[in-house]
Structure 1
Amino acid sequence: MSYSADALTVLVLAGTRPGVPDPMAQAAGVSHKAILPVAGVPMITRVLETLQNTPAVGRIIVCIDAPAVLDGLVPPAVTVVPSRPEGPSASVLAALTQFGTPLLVTTADNALLRPEWIMEFLNASPPQADVTVAVAPEAVVLRDVPVTKRTFIRLSDLAFSGCNLFLFRTPVALNVARLWLRVEKNRKHPLRIAWLLGPFVLLKAVMKKLSRNALCARIEKLTGAKTALVCLSDGRAAVDIDKPADLELTERLLGAE
């Protein structure tokens, strides 16, 4: 699928969950991880510069719980909105309701983000899909960043790590955000999530017998939205900054460019 210039709205999730200080921000002596320096540049600045240099991107929105934190860091053309206290899924749902679709979602800690990764993701997203998710296959991640320690989701036909890029392409995609919100509300209650998603689906996932098509089919049954996983060709796309080792790796990769 191709997007013309200024056609796509992008939401950058930059908030902190209420009452849960981010350990990376605390270690760096800043209020929010989004403004943590990465090789001397706030990570949110790196993400915004990448988005502004991406041909398909038009409007950029940053979602954060304390908008004043970004004073002086966000270009005038970027809109800053308050995040929802319920969590990122609620913030995405609110943005979809306010700004509509298509909506590309990424995160402030996606400091290595590149315009070519975004364009690859958009162009490879199936036109019939309502929601697409960018992933990096395990073999690609281990090829490009062998020293990284990433969490891989293992399906029967694909092992992958997420890349913090989500495309909510059509209005039906709001149903996926609503499902995400219900899952997030029950994140401390695995049995409730099992009941919500279907115990047989989770059993297959645990036994690594759940295929990519079966997973997408289950989501479609629950939401009416067609979903697709889009594999990116650069394993570095799976690297975000969740812990000190990620920051060290990111700065090393930036220094090698």
Structure 2
Amino acid sequence: MSDQFDVILLAAQRVGTVNPLAAAHGVSHKCLVPVAGETLIGRTLASVSSHPDCRSIHILIEPDGERAVRPVAESFTRKDLPIHFIASDSNIAASVLLGCENGTAPFVVTTADNVLIKHDSINKVVRAIGDGADAVAALANKDDIRSVHPLAQRFFYEFRDHGYANCNLYGIASTDALNAVEIFREGGQFMNHPRRLVNAFGLWNILLMRFGWVSIDAAFRRMSKRFGIDMRRVPLSDGTQAIDVDNERTYRIVEAVLENRVHDLKI
């Protein structure tokens, strides 16, 4: 299997709502918010597009956002790399599927606000797919994330072995593995919406995870059985990889990481 991959970049915001961070920074779309001198999507694209094995990028954004985002995207992407803009769906899972239908597997899926993403993290996701996984999710543990900043994440998935947070970085090996996209069906953000967890993973699996009765790898084995594919977690020891720009608090933390002054930050 080739190490090359297509990137699915989720850049849309909720239709009909004004993103608070975008409003605070005077821009039309959250992905255009500047952080440490560059836009969120510009920084993320600069990272993923500079990966030597990145073959193509598919940007999912609402139709009225393409005009504003396209010039930024093109200026931060290497010139020989194809960029495809695709009208996003209001549902995250449907948007991922649209991106996959337009591209060539395997896929690396991430978000436009994942500005701290590193090549090493992408390499681990691609390597896990190369080792036979159908779908993978990158996660960092609680201690590594809090070592970056104590408020970098407020909620964690608690398992028997540790607490974890996702890194908004996923891998999909082929179209046969698209059952995994059902995880996004109701928009993610599972910590704040328990019903979404139940719908995605099943009540018994959720109870096992909720009460810390299973390790994280055992949980992934159970998810694999539920979805009928080999789903694995990719452990990332760099806690910054679980910090994206969701709100003003995480914006300031990410800005501090980028400016190399996180230990002096007071929130």
Measured against the shorter chain, the TM-score band is 0.7 to 0.9
TM-score by structure 2 length? Answer: 0.84
Kindly indicate whether residue 104 of structure 2 is the aligned counterpart of residue 104 of structure 1.
Answer: no
CA apart distance, 1:2: 7.2
Instruction: Quote the Cα distance in structure 1 between the aligned partners of 2:200 and 2:59.
Output: 30
TM-score by structure 1 length? Answer: 0.87
Instruction: Quote the Cα distance in structure 2 between the aligned partners of 1:120 and 1:213.
Output: 16
Change (3 A) 1:126 1:232: farther
Query: More deviation in 71-80 or 226-235?
Result: 71-80
CA apart distance, 1:195: 5.8
What secondary structure sits across from 2:71 in the alignment?
coil
Q: Percent identity?
A: 29
Amino acid at match of 2:220: C
**Structure 1 residues 60-116: Cα deviation after superposition (integer angstroms, max 9, x where no partner):** 11111121121321216322111112x221100122223242110010111112223
Change (3 A) 1:2 1:203: same
**Structure 1 residues 14-56: Cα deviation after superposition (integer angstroms, max 9, x where no partner):** 0012223221112112111101001121110101111121122
CA apart distance, 1:8: 0.8
Aligned residues: 251
Kindly indicate whether residue 48 of structure 2 is the aligned counterpart of residue 51 of structure 1.
Answer: yes
Preserved CA contact (<8 Å) 1:145 1:235: no
Preserved CA contact (<8 Å) 2:96 2:181: yes
What secondary structure sits across from 1:110 in the alignment?
coil
Question: Which residue is 1:73 aligned to?
Answer: 72
Preserved CA contact (<8 Å) 1:109 1:241: yes
Preserved CA contact (<8 Å) 2:58 2:84: yes
CA apart distance, 1:124: 4.7
Preserved CA contact (<8 Å) 2:92 2:184: no
**Structure 1 residues 112-151: Cα deviation after superposition (integer angstroms, max 9, x where no partner):** 1222322233235561210011111112212333452342
CA apart distance, 1:59: 0.5
Preserved CA contact (<8 Å) 1:145 1:236: no
Question: Which residue is 1:35 aligned to?
Answer: 32
The structure 1 segments of at least 4 consecutive aligned residues displaced by more than 4 Å after TM superposition are 187-193
Point out where structure 1 has 5 or more consecutive residues left out of the alignment: none
- Give runs of aligned pairs for residues 166-245 of structure 1, distance below 5 A: 166-178=170-182, 180-181=184-185, 183-184=186-187, 190=194, 194=198, 197-245=201-249
CA apart distance, 1:217: 2.7
Preserved CA contact (<8 Å) 2:125 2:170: no
Preserved CA contact (<8 Å) 2:139 2:233: yes
Preserved CA contact (<8 Å) 1:34 1:108: yes
Instruction: Quote the Cα distance in structure 2 between the aligned partners of 1:50 and 1:196.
Output: 31
Report the RMSD for the aligned CA atoms in angstroms: 2.5
Change (3 A) 1:204 1:173: same
Kindly indicate whether residue 79 of structure 2 is the aligned counterpart of residue 82 of structure 1.
Answer: no
Amino acid at match of 1:23: P
